[in-house]
Each structure stands twice: as structure tokens, then as C-alpha cells.
Chains A and B, each alone.
Chain A
Amino acid sequence: MGRPGTGFKRVRTAAMLATLFCCARAVGAPGWQGRPYAVVMSHIQGVGQPSTGSTQLTLQHDATCTVSVSVNTPGDEVLTVRGSGGGGPTLTTSYKITGIADYDANWLSSSAFLTRWYTLNGNATDTLMLSVQGTGPANSAPEAGAYTAMIVLTVTF
């Protein structure tokens, strides 16, 4: 038998360790699984042909949550050749998210995509497939250049 109070200290220490361990593991949800992703687009093969790309985004959540789409600066959602002066050539940009119950059946215009939000139900790990399509003018080749865009995905209650 140890000194009076030793047992209590052991219990307290054990409880603290267990609590810390629980916290460290339990905060695994909700959270994005992995680093920020980029959707790399294919080359445009011909006049009027779209360039497409997609990537998987994994989200673990322990309760129903929503994912909304936004941009840091208006226009960021449109595939554009971004030079130092701005206002470069653009591609008609469409998006869709699939792989979840609340999926997009159609391509959404870039402006419609910014009003879209997705509900992910319950305790689950969902894999969202983000697809992007960029289309040049119907009757002429798009200007050469690196077309880029940027979107923000926010998970919240």
C-alpha cells in the first residue's frame, strides 16, 4: 500500500492521459482528409473541344455538415490566363461535384456553382469528385496560355 493519496494521483493521471488521448483522436472529425488539392486540366485538343479535369476530395465528419463554394476574389472561378495586367483570355468554365448523395447531375456554370451548397449527412467519410470543364470559343482556337482558376470549399455546420 502506498502513501495516502497515491492511488488518487494515479487515477487522476490515468484519467488525464485518457482524456488527452481521446481529444487528440476525437478531433479527427469533421475535417478535410489530405492537403489542398488542385484540379489539373487536360489539353484542349481542337476548336470547340473542352478541357476537363477532376480530383477527389475526402471529408470525414461525425455529424451532418455542409460544404459551400466561394472565391476569394470575384472572377477567380473562371479559367483565365492571369497576366500581370489582369483581364486575360478566359474559357467558359463549368463545375460539378459527384460521388455524394447531394450530387450535381449536370455541369453547372461557374456562377451557378458559386451558389451551390452540399449537405453531407451523419457520421461518414465522403469522397467528393470535383470536376471542371473549360471550353473555348466555338469557332476559333482559344489563345495559348496557362488557364487557371481558384475556388474555396468551406465545410461548416
Chain B
Amino acid sequence: MAFEKRTLAAWVLALGLVMGLGRPAAGGVAVSPLKQEISLKPGEEGKVSLALAFNNRLPTDGPEKMTLAVMDVLATEEGSLVFGEPGLSKVSASKWVTLGAGEVTLDPGESRALECRIAVPETAAPGEYYAAVMVTLARPGVTEKGVAVQYRIASGIFVTVLGRTFPKEARIARCELIWPQAGAAHPATQPDAPAGDAPPPIVPAVQVMLENTGQARFDGSGKVTVLDEQRRIVLVSPMATRRPCIFAGDSRLFETPLAKALPAGKYTLRVEMDYESAWAKARQDMYVTILPEQAALLAQLRQGQGAGKALVEATPDTLASVVPAGATRSLAVTLKNVSDGEVTCTAGVAGSSGPGVAVRPEQFTISKGGKKTVEVRVESDAGTAADGGRLSALINVEASQEGGGHTELSIPVDIQQKMER
């Protein structure tokens, strides 16, 4: 028994030493964690803890003083966080949080746990509420000429007031295709870059504003599928944002570049946003016409992005077939390596208007000058066929080569589902 206890003690000490000494010696003020959650019923009290530490850099460093305050935390549509006066936001938990101290002074090497008490009012409606503890170093940089810098560290406190379950709810508040303005400079352009470095072009982009209409935060994601006039999928592109987490009541801007040379014509942009709901997604169709000059711009941008020389070629470059309801068809695409070395390929279904489309093999290599046949398996759905439906999909093949070469190939699939007589 004593041996077991000693063994346990040795393990605990070893773990402590490994965890403690594994980190590099840190200097400066640290706050941990950066966010934490607590669930309470109306009228209930709880507490969370915040660890503050001052790891001095120099032996001569004196004590470090910091002030602490509870603030509202708000997110902008772009995702940046803004800290404001407590209690102004509809989903503020600031007024419920009481800090154990408003000021803390730490000696070099000292760390301290700060208790934050959270008292939810009886009248609080179920839902999520947010606050932040702002730790401000009380000694800002001082300069007689120049810019002084003040440091702050904000630790988020997310309070869930219990009472019922909170379904994730969202809607697409805005959806648009933005074309670059003539003469616009790319934000990554360096004006003092050496001559000859052509600035990367700005590409048209699909922007979607996703609004959290529920009472629970979620991580948003999504994609846009572009269909041509024949309802064939010609592009599938993921929507991106810098902060996927969307608080209750907030909206967030998602964007994806229209990085494909599309011919002039009418298109449908089908936006599908996932908001972590088990039941639904937010969807919106947008109808756009790409004018000849816009099509020329897309082609020009695509060339400028180094769409350049393909590593593989597909034969045929589109797949079309008539499949009886409930039947399965295998269609073949032959990929030929037209590069000067071996290429590694990854094939997959980038988008599909329905289930039942698969590609195999998904990963393979093709030697220089070699060919590989890929099977696209289509399983027709009887229900869809009854509507005289069509199944549209887009197969993407990513080809890469050792040394950095990388190209993408898209193969549209158009299936007419036919009812057997």
C-alpha cells in the first residue's frame, strides 16, 4: 500500500516537473484562461477563477501592478471583439460578475488566483450571456516623443442561464456578389515593393452575412455552389470568416472568392450555411448575370493566379448520362499526367445536388506520361426521378507534384434521372 502511494507521489511530482519545466522561462504578465464557461439557473450563484502571474524578466524587476474590470464584450460583423461599458449589451453578463479585487500587485515570480463570483438574477431569461474581465497593466509605456503602448489582456466569461434547451437558429441576412472596383489596390500590396513585383489582383467575392437569431452561440461555416443555366454545378467554394464563433444576436460576415473563369451567362449562386443545427441549414439562392467584360476579368484573374500549366488532363472533361430511377451507373474519367514528373492526385465530390455520387479511388499517383481511370459512381434516387429530376455534381481533382506544383481540375457531372416504364 505504502509502495503504491509512493509510486503515485512520484508520478504526480514527475508530471508536475514535466509540465512545469517543459515550458520556456516566461517573462511578463500572463492571464489564464482566455475564456471560460459556467452554467447557472436563474437566482443561482457560481464562481470561476482567473490565474494571474508575473514572471519577471530581470532580477531587478520590481512589483507589477494591474487593474481589473468587468466589461461587456461585443463582436463586430468582421469578427473583431470590442469591449465596452458593463451592462449595455442585451446579452451582457457584466453586471452579474463581481471580482475578488479591482487591483492586484504581483511581486516578481508571483502568481495568484482571482475569484470571480457570478450571481444570476431571478429574472434572467434562459440563454447565453457574455462578459470579459479586463486586466490592464497599470504602468503604460511612457515616452516624451513617440507612441506609448498600453497592454491589456481580456478573459471571456460565458454564462449560460439554464431553463430550457437552446436550439441553434440562424438566417442569411445578406448575400451578394461583389465585383472589384477598377483601379482598386490589393490590401496585401506593398507600395514600396521592388519594381517588377506585380500586385496580386483582387478577385470578385461572394459575401454572406449570417445572423444568429437564437440564444446560443455557434460556429458558422458554409459553402457556395455556382450552377450554370443548365443547372450544372460549375464551382463549389467554402465560405470563410476570421471568427467562426457567432454570439447570440450577432451577425458575421463570410466571404469566398469567385476564383474560376466562368463564361458570360446567367448563374445561380446557392449559399448553404451550417450553424451546428442538427435539423437545418440556412440556404439562399442568388441569381446573377455575368457580363462579357466580367467574364473576361475572371479569365484574366485566373491566369494571373498561376492557373498556368495543368499537371493532368481529363477525358472527357464533362460527364453526362441518363440513369433509370433506382439504378446505379459507373462513369469513367481518364486522367493523363501531362507534367514532367510523377503527380499525386486527390479526387472527390466537391458538390452535388443530391446524394449518391461517389468517386474512387480518391488518392492515387500517376507516373510521368501515365494514365489513370477514375470511376464516378452515380446512384439514382427513385423519388427524385419521379419528379423528372436531374442530378448535378462537380468532381474535383487536385494534382500536386514534388517541388511545389499544384493544380486543380473540375469535372461537371450532369445526370438525367429517368422513370422506367
**Chain A residues with a Cβ under 8 A of chain B:** 1, 7-8, 10-11, 14-15, 17-19, 21-41, 53, 55, 57-58, 60, 63, 65-66, 68, 70, 72, 79, 105-107, 115, 117, 119, 125, 130, 132, 146-157
Report yes or no: B153 in contact with A156, Cβ–Cβ below 8 A.
Answer: yes
A-B pairs, 7 with minimum CB distance: A31-B30, A18-B16, A28-B26, A38-B143, A38-B141, A156-B154, A36-B141
B156 in contact with A40 (CB, 8 Å): no
B151 closest partner in A (C-beta): A32
Establish whether residues B51 and A155, one from each chain, have CB atoms under 8 Å apart when the complex forms. Answer: no
CB contacts (< 8 Å) of A132 on chain B: these are: 146-147
Task: Identify which of A7, A22, A68, A157 contacts B5 (C-beta below 8 A).
Answer: A7
The verdict on A28 contacting B23 (CB below 8 Å), with A36-B139, A39-B146, A66-B81 known, is yes
Residues 1-53 of B at the A interface (beta carbon under 8 Å): 1-2, 5-6, 8-9, 12-13, 15-17, 19-21, 23-24, 26-32, 34-35, 51-53
Tell me whether A35 and B147 are in contact (CB under 8 A): no
A36 with B137, Cβ < 8 A, contacts A132-B147, A153-B151 known: yes
Write out the residue numbers on chain B whose beta carbons fall within 8 Å of the beta carbon of A28. 23, 26, 30, 53, 55
Is B57's CB under 8 angstroms from A68's CB? no
Give the residue among B6, B16, B142, B151 with the most A Cβ atoms within 10 A: B151
Residue of B nearest to A146 (CB): B145
Contacts of B83 in A (CB 8 A): 70, 154
Contact across chains for B53 and A31 when beta carbons are under 8 A apart: yes
A107: chain B residues within 8 A (beta carbon): 191
Q: Residue B321 at the A interface, CB < 8 A?
A: no
CA distance A153 to B153 in the complex (A): 8
The answer on a CB contact under 8 Å between A25 and B23 is yes
Number of interface residues of B (CB under 8 A): 66
**Bound-complex Cα distance A62 to B16 (A):** 18
Does A117 lie within 8 Å of B80, measured CB to CB?
yes
Q: Which residues of A contact B28 (CB under 8 A)?
A: 31-35, 58, 60
Q: Given A25-B23, A154-B154, decide whether A30 and B31 contact each other with a Cβ distance below 8 A.
A: yes
Chain B residues closer than 8 Å to A150, beta-carbon distance: 140, 147-150
Given the complex, which residues of B lie within 8 Å of A53, measured CB to CB?
146-147
Q: Are B152 and A153 in contact (CB under 8 A)?
A: yes
CB proximity of A71 to chain B, nearest CB, Å: 9
Q: Which of A1, A8, A60 contacts B30 (CB 8 A)?
A: A60
- Residues of chain B touching chain A, judged by Cβ–Cβ distance below 8 Å, are 1-2, 5-6, 8-9, 12-13, 15-17, 19-21, 23-24, 26-32, 34-35, 51-53, 55, 57, 73, 79-83, 111, 113, 132, 134, 137, 139-156, 187-191, 242-243
Q: How far is the CA of A105 from the CA of B20 in the complex (A)?
A: 38
Inter-chain CA distance A18–B9, complex, in Å, is: 9
Given A30-B30, A36-B141, A37-B141, are A18 and B52 also a contact pair (CB < 8 Å)? no
B19 in complex: contacting residue of A26, A39, A41, A79, CB < 8 Å: A26
Contacting pair A151 B149 (CB below 8 A): yes
Contact present for B132 and A156 (CB under 8 Å): yes
Nearest-Cβ distance from residue B139 to partner chain A, whole angstroms: 6
Contact A21 to B147, CB < 8 A, known contacts A30-B31, A156-B156: no
Neighbour of B20 across the interface among A14, A26, A72, A79, CB < 8 A? A26
A40 and B8 in contact (CB under 8 A), knowing A23-B111, A115-B80? no
Assess the A7–B2 pair: CB atoms within 8 A.
yes
Whether B148 pairs with A149 at a CB distance below 8 angstroms is yes
| A125 / chain B contacts, CB cutoff of 8 Å | 24
The answer on a CB contact under 8 Å between A36 and B55 is no
Q: Which residues of A contact B189 (CB under 8 A)?
A: 105-106
| CA distance in complex: A21, B17 (Å) | 8
A11→B12 contact, CB < 8 A: yes
* Closest beta carbon of chain B to A136's beta carbon, Å: 14
Q: Tell me if A33 and B57 are in contact (CB < 8 A).
A: yes
- Given the complex of chains A and B, what is the CA–CA distance between A14 and B15 in angstroms? 11
In the assembled complex, how far is the CB of residue B94 from the closest CB belonging to chain A, in whole angstroms?
Answer: 15
20 more A-B residue pairs beyond the given contacts A29-B30, A34-B27, A38-B149, with a C-beta to C-beta distance below 8 A: A7-B6, A18-B13, A21-B16, A21-B17, A25-B19, A27-B52, A28-B53, A34-B28, A36-B137, A63-B34, A105-B190, A107-B191, A117-B242, A146-B144, A146-B145, A149-B147, A151-B148, A155-B34, A155-B152, A156-B156
